Amino acid sequence: MSAQAQQERRRERRAEARRVILDASDALLTEGGQEAFSIRRLVERCGYTAPTIYQYFGDKDGLLDEILALDFEQLLAQLDRAPQSGDPVEDLTRLAQIFVRHGIRHPNHYQLHFLPRSPDWQPPAVIDETRAHFDRIWERLREEGRMSGDPESAAQSLWALCHGLISGRIHRPDRPWSKTLNQDAIGALLRGLVEPAKAKGTRRRKKESKC
């Protein structure tokens, strides 16, 4: 076997090991959450030794960060596929609902957002890519003069609402949550933050009425 073929074989083995470890980690996290997640249980599930796991991911936190990034990649793919209506408020509502549904369907992954982090922790780049979907719409609304307040405060308000909608379902799944809660809550918030679009020709009609 040539040196190049050996090198390619090693890359394939490393990729396979990472995939098996991540799949096993994802399964453990889905089953029991981060409280029940441990390297010992992961070793039993995936068949690789703890030193091998540390070699690929550094430590337990590094491994959980990798799972968080993969979860955001799934969310980002959903946001990328969301249809564009031409109405920024409708598009923003749709993206927020996608975010909330994803968090509710993956509660243990969602709670990885809130692990204790060191001051120099750098979030996975895919998180910024996800946030950019929302930022572009807020910027468009600002440019159109439709923001009734500070755009940054508006963005944080929407995130806080989405977080509450997700956390409520996670921590109180026994409650009879309304089927239209997400749509109603997000719609009500945006109506308070965003001015309605001006009808085309409104300014012209007003000018003509003065003549």
Domain ranges of the chain: 1-58, 71-209
N-to-C CA span, the chain: 89
Which of 133, 143, 136 has the alpha carbon at shortest distance from 197?
143
Q: Specify burial of residue 99 (Cβ count, 10 A radius: 0-12, 13-18, 19+).
A: buried
Query: CA distances (Å), 31 to each of 22, 53, 109, 151, 178, in order?
Result: 14, 20, 11, 39, 26
Query: pLDDT-derived band of residue 149, with 50, 70 and 90 as boundaries?
Result: confident
- Residue type, position 167, single letter: S
Q: Is the per-residue pLDDT at 211 higher than 50?
A: no
Quick one: which H or E segment has residue 45? helix 39-46
pLDDT value at residue 203: 43
Q: Given CATH 1.10.287.110, say whether it is the number of domain 71-209.
A: no
Q: Cα separation of 47 and 204, whole Å?
A: 72
Each residue's pLDDT tens digit, 152-202: 999 999 999 999 999 999 999 999 999 999 999 999 999 999 998 876 554
- Any residues with CB less than 8 A from the CB of 111 and at least 6 apart, and which? 33, 34, 170
CATH class for the region spanning 1-58: mainly alpha
